[in-house]
Structure 1
Amino acid sequence: MKQSRTKLIIILIIIINLVFTVSAYKQGLFDRWFTNKPKQIINISCADLSLGCAFKIDQQSFTVKSDQAINTSKPVHLTLIGPAKSIRLSWQMLGMDMGRNYYKMLSDDQQQWRAETMLPICSQQRLDWLLTFDIDQAQVLIQTQSGAQK
């Protein structure tokens, strides 16, 4: 009787630990442990993404452009041209926690990348944004502006 009760308690402890581990994984609490640190960090300013901006990673040229001026009330369609194996991006504001909003860029040829994104909601009506690209082993931080909501 005591052995079966002990086994039951051990099984319950294992199940509870599994539930907490899966929940923490889904919330991204393990991301920083499994994410490679970038070998190169690039900071640029690009006041109007719809005009496009250029940067280089090592000796490779990249350009990023939105299909129209960015606005908090409309989807932001981004195109990035440049060679990469994978690209992930996120929108943030300096000094403000905007939550997790990662987007994976898609490509057919690993040269032209695209993503449809949305700016996070800012209760302070700020217009300054930090667009972060994780491109293979590099991180590109682009400071940009959005237009006022219409």
Structure 2
Amino acid sequence: MKFDWLLKYALPALLISVAIAGGLYQTWQHQHTATTRITCNSPAQGCQFLLDQQPVKVEFIEPPSGLHPFTLRVSIAHAQEIHAHFTMKEMEMGYNQYRLLALSPQQWQARVVLPVCVTGRHDWILTLNIDNKQVEIPFNG
């Protein structure tokens, strides 16, 4: 009986505090992850760059178009996890996170869809997260 207040008030408050702290840490970590920006004239023709001295190739198998699925392929040796999402400069495009699946130890891909921009803009930014390293690739779709 003397610990009823602990179960009723202190424990829930502690659990809420831990959840809030975890969310704040994830936000801080995302904001403080170094992002590499890559210049790529045409992802449909493929873009190559180095990430931590590892060659990476990114390509759109079909031309990107709003609301039409296309294949995003990434070639890199020894990656453990790759995610992608699309935004525009100074414009968040809602939740559109994609997890690329390994086709082989060096090749990853996903079917993705560009979110529609109601303003008619076509200046997209593909953000790849490759093993917690962020790469931004601006392109026009």
Question: Would you say same fold, with TM above 0.5?
Answer: yes
Corresponding residue of 2:61: 67
Decide which of 74, 82, 92 is 2:76's aligned counterpart.
Answer: 82
Aligned-pair RMSD on alpha carbons?
3.1
Q: Which amino acid aligns with 1:71?
A: S
Kept after mapping to 1: 8 A contact 2:54/2:76? yes
Larger radius of gyration: 1
CA distance in 2, matches of 1:12, 1:108: 50
Q: 1:51 aligns with which of 45, 61, 75?
A: 45
Q: SS of 1:130's equivalent?
A: strand
Q: Gaps (5+ residues) in structure 2?
A: none
Structure 1 letter corresponding to 2:117: C
Aligned amino acid, residue 92 of structure 2: D
- Name the amino acid aligned to 1:104: R
Q: How many residues are paired up?
A: 139
Structure 1 145/138 Cα, relative in aligned 2: closer, same or farther at 3 Å? same
The aligned residue for residue 95 of structure 1 is: 90
By how many angstroms is 1:109 displaced?
3.1
1:127 to 2:122 alignment: yes
Q: Which runs of 5+ in 1 are unaligned?
A: none
Moved over 3 A (4+): 9-15, 28-31, 33-39
CA drift of 1:70 comes to 0.8
Whole-Å separation in 2 of the counterparts to 1:112 and 1:134: 15
Are the structure 2 counterparts of residues 121 and 135 from structure 1 closer, same or farther at C-alpha, using a change threshold of 3 Å?
same
TM-score, normalising length: structure 1: 0.73
TM-score (norm 2): 0.77
CA contact (8 A) 1:78 1:117 kept: yes
